[in-house]
Amino acid sequence: MTADTPTDVSAAADDKQLSDPFLAVVVLSGGMDSTTLMAHYAALRHRLLAVTVDYGQRHRREIDSARSVAEHYGAEHHVVDVSGLGALLSGSALTDGNVDVPAGHYAERSMRATVVPNRNAVLANAAVAVAVARRAGTVALGMHAGDHFIYPDCRPAFISALEQLVAVANEGFPTPKVAAPFMTWTKGQIAEHGTRLGAPLAISWSCYRGGESHCGTCGTCYERREAFQEAGVPDPTCYLDDTTRFPAP
């Protein structure tokens, strides 16, 4: 019997129905966006399985934040170690100690130094593999419109391509839906949403420099600062520099 017979197609369709629509695998970096994402799916009454990827990032503090956020929501949490891959990714300020993390507005061209090659594809596909194995109905990603300036894997085109890849790579198996609910949102809208949902944003981590406190001047710190200001909600973050202003390019 060939793989495309009606019997096999029906069996695959029946198998897909075994996915759990209320289990969400969340890519949890420990940052503001993914912390709000956890709050978003908790509010939707999903069971949460959080996946954090250790890719050898300079700002390893975010992994500790991810653990704290997962614990806050009582979520199953796993850290996937691909730090060996990160060691090969020279040229990025996040994985190469010889490259400085630039300060400035997050839309500046200099922020290209913080691009990690294929990062979101690695993170997302790790989560997809877990979701297929656990028959989860959703893989949730926290990228948003504000990151389109610099990061090519934070665009709608990336999500569309990922959806096609997930369908093809897992044909005949329970296939999760790929969701990026904040894709068209600004960072300010995410800050507002997270605050409204009671997300533990105070324990989230954004700074790419990865010190003891947020520096306040790297691109992600500056974007975080602006987001709370735009949202008009209290910023629970302690910055080493919360006064410097950078004009938008």
Angstrom distance (rounded) from CA 85 to CA 116: 11
pTM above 0.75? Answer: yes
Is residue 220 predicted with pLDDT exceeding 80?
yes
Radius of gyration, CA atoms only, the chain: 19
Q: Is 65 within a domain?
A: yes
Pairing mode of beta strands 76-81, 20-27: unpaired
Q: Is 238 within a domain?
A: no
Query: Tens of pLDDT along 8-18?
Result: 444 444 554 57
Q: Tell me the three state secondary structure of residue 77.
A: strand
Q: What is the mean pLDDT of residues 187-193?
A: 97
Query: Tens of pLDDT along 119-173?
Result: 999 999 999 999 999 999 999 999 997 777 789 999 999 999 999 999 999 999 9
What's the pLDDT score for residue 50?
98
What's the pLDDT score for residue 149?
73
Is residue 200 predicted with pLDDT exceeding 80?
yes
User: Between residues 209 and 15, which one has the greater pLDDT?
Assistant: 209
Q: What is the mean pLDDT of residues 199-223?
A: 97
Angstrom distance (rounded) from CA 54 to CA 56: 6
Q: Is 105 within a domain?
A: no
Tell me which amino acid residue 114 is.
T
Q: Is 133 within a domain?
A: yes
Query: Tens of pLDDT along 88-126?
Result: 999 999 999 999 999 999 999 999 999 999 999 999 999
Looking up residue 67, the CATH number of its domain turns out to be 3.40.50.620
Mean pLDDT computed over every residue of the chain: 92
Cα–Cα separations (whole angstroms), residue 176 to 140, 158, 159, 214, 247: 10, 16, 13, 35, 41
What's the pLDDT score for residue 1?
39
Q: Is 217 within a domain?
A: no
What's the pLDDT score for residue 72?
98
Spell out the alpha helix ranges (H) of the chain.
Answer: 6-16, 32-43, 61-72, 83-86, 119-134, 156-169, 187-196, 219-231
CB neighbours of residue 74 within 10 Å: 10
Q: How many folded domains does the chain comprise?
A: 1
Q: Is 139 within a domain?
A: yes
Q: Is 234 within a domain?
A: no
Range of the domain at 155: 13-100+115-199
